[in-house]
Structure formats: C-alpha cells, structure tokens
Chains A and B, each alone.
Chain A
Amino acid sequence: MTAIRRFLPGWLSTYAVLYLLFLYLPVIFLPIFSINTAATPKFPLSGVTLHWYEDLPRTPALIDATWNSLIVGISASILSTVLGILAARSITRYRYPGRRTINGLIMAPLVLPEVIVAISMLLVMLQLGLSLSLFTVVLGHVLVCIPYSMTVLTSGFEGFDRSLEEASADLGETAFGTFRRVTLPMVAPAIISSLLVCFTISLDEFIIAFFLTGTEATLPIYIWGQLRFAAKLPGVLALGTLLLFASFVLMTIAEILRRRAARRTQNEGGLYA
C-alpha cells in the first residue's frame, strides 16, 4: 500500500505531462515550422523568418477565402444564436411534456458523423433545387452550431429568477420593455459568448463547407487546396497559426463571458438564493 503511494505520484505526473504533450504537440509544431526559412517541415530549423506571414496578404485567393469565411461565420453565428436563444429560453423557462426529448434532439448533431450529415444536407439542398453557394454553407453551419449555442445559452439562462421579470412588470414595464431592460442585459454575456463560439466553429469547419459550397472556398477549403503543393506548405502553416490563435482568443473570451452570465442570472440574497 505504502509502496503504491510512494510510486504513484511520480508516475501520475509523468502520465499527465505525456497526456498534455499528446494533446498539444501537433499544435505547437504549427507555429514553429511557420517561421522556418526552409519549405520542408523538418528539424533542425534552417533559420527564422516572418517571410511566410508577409506573403499571406499578397495572395488574392486567400483574401477571397477570408472574406467568404467571415461572411459565413458571421451569418451562421447570428442565425444559430437567435435560434438558440428561442430554444434555450423555452427549455429553461417552461415545463412541458417532451421538453427533454426536444433538448436531446437539438443537441444530437453534436455526435452525428459529420460526413454523413454533410452528405444528407447536400442531398436535401439538391432536392430543394438550391444551387450550392455560401448560403448553403451557412445553413449547414447553423445545423452544427446550434448545439454549441444551446449549451452556452442554457447555462446562461438557467436559474434566471422569474421574479426579476415579474418585478419589472410590477413596476410598470411592458413585456418588451422588460425583455430590453432586464432579460437582455442579464443574458447579454451568454449571447455574445454564443456568437463567438459559433463564429469560431464555422471558421474552422471543413467537411460541411466542402460538400455544400459551390465555387467559393472558405478558409479551411482554401488550405485543403493548397496542401497539394509542397511549396505552399509554409504559407498554410502560417495561416493555420493565425487561425489557431484567433480561435484560442475567441473561445477564451466566450468562456469568460459564459461564466459571467451564469453568475449574473442567480438572484442571490432571497430565500431561494
């Protein structure tokens, strides 16, 4: 017993370090090779340069892809957040039969195989007679974003003390005024958090965009196209590093806001605090 106790801590920390290395080593390679002077990703580095980064804004196809990604990301995040607000509000505020089932069905796309979802969506779009474009990509991204949006928003709406809205009505405010002056400011952090999460997911999403886009490439599709040319690899690495950094920052802000929203909606101090 004591032997195990003495033995375990050392091994546990080794295990923890290996675990983290496994998770983050590939991610760390990306920025390292993106500043290598040689075009092939190999150690030792032949020299340090920001050349690949400087080249990025001079690539018209990349600029187009960035614009496309921004358009898709912004549209998808707004749409899924609006739909998410409605669903999250209904699920956290009201009690009705089938509530849990509906919640489960909304969350399901999270675990469905994305390739299958993409193919099914492609079939549906074609059946509907929609020509493939950024619009169809937005629809696809809304589908995958809603579960994330729901998760963030339910945690923000959960525990929202109903008497706060009643107090507002009691003080003479209309239903719309109450939403604007009480509900919205209180859940605003959760809403912004949801927008950021959805935007990040849409920005990085490849499979659905690949199936559903027409001729316009989003950033991940552009990167996929570039991988065929060995000489373009450092540029892709530089772009990947930037995307990685952007995602990391956006998700951190989103998480901070989500926690703030969850704290805010609790009405501490009363009997039901």
Chain B
Amino acid sequence: MLERVQSERVQADRTMIEIRDVTRSYGSFKALDNASLSIREGEFFSLLGPSGCGKTTLLRMIAGFDTPTSGSIAVDGQPMDGIPANRRPTNMVFQSYAIFPHLNVEQNVAYGLKRLKLEAGEEKRRVEEALAQVSLTGLGKRRATELSGGQRQRVALARALVMRPKVLLLDEPLSALDKKLREQMQVELRRLQQAVGITFVLVTHDQYEALAMSDRIAVMFGGRIAQVASPKEIYQRPVNRQVADFLGGMNFVKAEIVEENGASLVLDTLGFGRVRTDKPKAFVRNGGAATLGIRPERLRVLWDNATAKFEVAGKVVERHYFGEITHLIVEIPGLEKPLSVTETNDFGADDIPVGAPIRLAYDPEALVAMAD
C-alpha cells in the first residue's frame, strides 16, 4: 500500500479528473457555464464560491448524480459519459452525511464492501482500518442515532475511504459542525488526505477552509470558473475584484494605465502615486482604467520617526478592536474611499487615537493590478 502511494507520488502531475467545456442548463438558467478544469492525482482540490455558483452541481456531475448538458468529464483517463454513480471510481461524503440510520457504525462502513464479496476476515480488517483512520476505533457497534455530529462525519468519511476510491468528493463536509470542531477537522482532513494519497475534491463556501486545506483552489461565480491557482496565489494575486473580495478584505484604489507591456503594468493612482506591478495572466485591458488592490494586513503602521521607502500618509477615522489585532480605517488625501488596515496589537495599535495623523508603509510587491 505504502509503496503504491509513493510510486504514485513520483508522477505527481498526472491528471486524475478532466472536465472539458461542461455546461449544465436548467431551461434558460445555466448552473454551470462552459467549465474546464483538470485536477491532478493525489491533489487536495477545492471548489470555492458563494451558494449558487455551480460548485455543488459540478461535484455531483463528477459523482454521477447529475449529467452535463454538454461537455465531458473523465476520471483517470476514462470518460464518464453514461456511467452511473454506482460504477464510478469516486466516493462522496454528503453534506447531510447520509448515515444509514437502520445500521450501526460498522455496518455503515461495510455497506459498499458487501458487494465486493470479500472474505469475512478481509472485510473486517478493512472496516477496522477505516475506523482507525478516522479515530473511531471501538465505536463500531454504536447505532447511527447515538453519534455526535463530528462522529457522524467521521463515519461518512470512513464509509467512503474504505472503498479505496480514486477520488474522494466532499460536499461541504464541515458546514454543520461548530467553529472549534470545524477547525480541528480541517487539520485532520488535510492530514488524512496526505496519509492516504487519494485525490480529494472539496466543495466549500468558506474561503479560510479552502485556503487552509487545499493544494489548489478553483474560485467560481455564477456558473463560471474565475480562477484556478494555489491558495497563496489566489489570495495574493486574485484575477479580478470579485475573487479578491470573496477571499478576505481588499482595498481597491482607482488607477490609470500609463504603460502596458508583456509582463508588467505602470499605473498612476492618487494615493500611491505611480506604481509598476506584475501584469496578471488573465489581464484584459478595458479602456484606460484599472484597479489597484492591497490587502489590509500588507499596510503597516509607521511609528514615531520611522520611515519606509514606500509610504502613504493620512488620518485615522475609525478604530475596531479584535483581540489580537486592531482594525483601522484611514483616510488618505486624494482617495475617494478610506483604506482598511489591520495591525497586530504588539506595539499598541489598539491605543492609536481616532483623528490622529498616521503614516503607512507598504511593499510594492503587495500591490495587485486588476482589470476594471
């Protein structure tokens, strides 16, 4: 088993799921609009977006519960057209967990194995192994109705993993758990995925969940895939305002395009002056205007006489205390909207008086250009 996983790791860039030009229409409404995506073997991949963006529709089409109106889906090189859910090499963890209430934990986990007609010893061994993987050893005889939310989720995971699928699909698996348990399960899910080496496809509307767990993320809006990239790139180099806004806070500054060439852009802004930034891959110019973005935590307060190569000056108009950080709203002359700044409280950002003048340092690397 271990050997197999390692040999698979070597060919890490092999494609496991190929989604090509997939559209799903309900009458005139397109739940998914011409989506193309390829998910690599052994990858933890997230489909992230607000409700109704088509992420669940896409997941259900990979599982075989829904059929594309047009386009094709292949899993491990094998086209899935016309193949029903019960014959696909995928298994799913449902949002409601769908634990069979008339069976106990062991019977739930063994449900899919029954059809494989394994030897009794082998079946028992695999069930035990799956229960151990999700830390449920010893709870095999529990009735489904006697489990907590977190335990039900683990049963759902074990029941899918025991089938040793090529792809594990997870439909908002953590949304029913409370915050603390959810954060704990994020870490566990990630660890489990790395241990078993199976391709995981997670659907979520929680950006932090996607950032914390994924190798790569596809951000979706209105049935379209807006951006596919690593969590870091998605967060730092969002392809447009919508993506930037969905993944945490972002300050948007109006900008004028002065110069455009292959790899970079020169923009004129009122608050930040003239800046040169990387040109985003999908940048399509829309007239002379563009938007410059900077994350609130990439603006640092300059204390006393400290100076920085790149700084802007303004006035604090609001201050919000959040325990380990303070959120400042800073008015900058020339900007039509004040900037949001988050600063850790180590140096007393929580004591900055409202109305005080303030200087902010920034790294030009943190500035992102976006098409308007």
Q: Which residues in A have some Cβ–Cβ distance to B below 8 Å?
A: 161, 163-164, 166-174, 177, 181-182, 185-186, 264, 266-273
Contact = CB atoms under 8 A, between A and B. Distances in A.
Given A170-B63, A170-B86, A268 B98 contact: no
A215 to B, nearest CB: 47
B65 A166 contact: yes
Given A163-B94, A270-B95, 5 more contacts: A166-B65, A167-B159, A170-B85, A171-B86, A273-B176
A271 B175 contact: yes
A168 B115 CA distance: 11
A167 B115 CA distance: 14
Interface centre among B84, B85, B147, B159 (most CB of A within 10 A): B85
B96 interface: yes
17 contacts: A161-B96, A161-B98, A164-B100, A164-B101, A166-B85, A167-B159, A169-B64, A169-B84, A170-B85, A172-B86, A267-B97, A267-B101, A269-B99, A269-B152, A270-B152, A271-B175, A273-B176
Given A166-B65, A166-B85, A267 B145 contact: no
Contacts of A270: 94-98, 152, 176
Contact of B176 (A166, A170, A271): A271
Nearest to B145: A268
Nearest to B97: A270
Contacts of B90: 170
Contact of B112 (A173, A186, A269, A272): A173
Contact of A171 (B84, B112, B145, B152): B112
Contacts of B86: 169-174
Contact of A177 (B101, B115, B163): B115
A8 to B, nearest CB: 43
B172 to A, nearest CB: 8
Interface in B142-200: 145, 147, 149, 152, 159-160, 163, 172, 175-176
A163 B98 contact: yes
Contacts of A167: 92, 94, 98, 100, 159
Interface residues of B, number: 33
Interface in B118-149: 145, 147, 149
Contacts of B147: 269
A272 B85 CA distance: 23
Closest CB pairs A-B (n = 8): A270-B96, A171-B112, A167-B98, A163-B98, A169-B85, A271-B176, A269-B152, A163-B94
B204 interface: no
Nearest to A266: B101
Contacts of B99: 267, 269
Nearest to B156: A167
Contacts of B92: 166-167, 170
B94 A168 contact: no
Interface of B: 63-65, 84-87, 90-92, 94-102, 111-112, 115-116, 145, 147, 149, 152, 159-160, 163, 172, 175-176
Contacts of B84: 169
Give the most central of B84, B87, B91, B98: most A CB within 10 Å.
B98
Nearest to A173: B86
Given A167-B92, A171-B159, A174-B86, A186 B102 contact: yes
A269 B102 contact: no
Contacts of B115: 171-173, 177
A269 B149 contact: yes
Nearest to A185: B102
Nearest to A269: B152
A264 B85 contact: no
Contacts of B85: 166, 169-170
Contacts of B172: 271
A206 to B, nearest CB: 39
Contact of B102 (A161, A173, A264, A273): A264
A164 B96 CA distance: 9
A174 B152 CA distance: 24
A268 B98 CA distance: 9
Contact of B98 (A164, A172, A185): A164
Contacts of A164: 98, 100-101
Given A166-B65, A166-B85, A172 B112 contact: yes
Contacts of A267: 96-99, 101
A181 B103 CA distance: 10
Contacts of A177: 115
A185 B100 CA distance: 10
B309 to A, nearest CB: 50
A271 B96 contact: yes
Nearest to A181: B111
Nearest to A271: B176
Contacts of B175: 271
Given A163-B94, A171-B159, A269 B100 contact: no
A169 B91 CA distance: 10
Contacts of A181: 111
Nearest to A174: B86
B91 A171 contact: yes
Of the listed residues B64, B86, B95, B159, the one surrounded by the most CB atoms of chain A closer than 10 A to its CB is B86
A239 B289 CA distance: 95
